Structure 1
Amino acid sequence: MALLVFLAGGLSVGRAVEFDEILPDKAMEARARAISSGLRCLVCQNQSIDDSNAPLARDLRILVRERLKAGDSDEQVRAFLVARYGEFVLLRPPVTMTTVLLWGAPFLILGCGAIAIALGVRRRRRQALAVPLSDEEKARLEAALGAD
């Protein structure tokens, strides 16, 4: 029984595209699938629109197919969706200064924190290794403290 449930669940993966969405031209349908597999579902966020059953994903799949039927190239379709929804709609956004900063900032912050900790430890070690007072300095300190 568990195997049947597993197989039924496995068969539904990747079949979010409904029959009324499929284009009659197999080559154009393959292009639509290739494009939609690289677009993020804005509801699910971790699935492509090709794999998602969310209503917004369906709308985006239909939009991709409409743009292809209108004669847009694959890049024009992607550019249209990026212009409309931002680079977040791409499952694999291009490497730009913004994405490098976004992914690199946590490491930069961790590095600065590690340097600050190292400098703090170094400063404390220097203070702990201070030169002890000479006998003359001890006598003057005791005299100053005893004068109270």
Structure 2
Amino acid sequence: MKKLISALALMVMFAASGPALAVNPDEVLKDPKLEQRARDLSLEIRCVVCQNQSIDDSNADLAKDLRLLVRERLQAGDSDKQVLDYLVDRYGEFVLLKPRIASHTLLLWIGGPLVLLIGGFVIFRNIRKQRSLGPDKEKSGPIPLSDAEKKELEELLKDE
């Protein structure tokens, strides 16, 4: 039982510290406030190699370079916005994990909810339409033959 608890504690410790392992000790700034700002910014910046990870979580060489660049800009006195603007100017808006709301990203922000609303409306309309038909019309069965069709069918059957 003790081995199981020790193993679980070890797994939780490694799982919780996974993203922190990407930042190397030589990258850490001496000023804790500046380091915290750098870590917060690093969580907003996409690793352009890994694409679905922040540079804080990635071990790629480019992510390390970006982490160092963020720290250099912060030490130079740049604000968080200036650092992000610098990276966007250099790499494009793809470098941001959460794109900014602007006229050219408006479709990105409203596209998902818009498709969801349109789909919900179509489903609602179809359900309402089927209910308006009523149970009698859904189970009406085949349409009876006219007199001319009955005569034609009898002639066809006689020929055989």
TM-score w.r.t. the length of structure 1 is 0.66
Question: What SS does structure 1 have at the residue aligned with 2:22?
Answer: coil
Partners in 2 of 1:42 and 1:109 — Cα distance?
A: 33
Letter in 2 for 1:92: K
Q: Structure 1 residue 90 and structure 2 residue 91: aligned?
A: no
How far is the alpha carbon of 1:114 from its aligned partner? 3.3
Deviation readout 1:61-93 (Å, 9 max, x if unpaired): 011122223332110111222333343332333
Q: Find the partner of 1:36 among 18, 27, 42.
A: 42
Q: Structure 1 residue 2 and structure 2 residue 7: aligned?
A: yes
Q: Structure 1 residue 21 and structure 2 residue 27: aligned?
A: yes
Letter in 2 for 1:103: G
Partner of 2:71: 65
Task: Give the percent of matched residue pairs that are identical in Structure 1 and Structure 2.
Answer: 43
**Could you say what the CA RMSD is over the residues aligned between the two structures, in angstroms?**
3.8
Q: Find the partner of 1:45 among 48, 51, 62.
A: 51
Partners in 1 of 2:62 and 2:118 — Cα distance?
A: 37
Q: Is the 8 A contact 2:19 2:56 kept in 1?
A: no
Partner of 1:114: 123
Partner of 1:143: 151
Q: Is the 8 A contact 2:27 2:68 kept in 1?
A: yes
How many pairs were matched up? 145
Partners in 2 of 1:22 and 1:3 — Cα distance?
A: 29
Q: Structure 1 residue 55 and structure 2 residue 64: aligned?
A: no
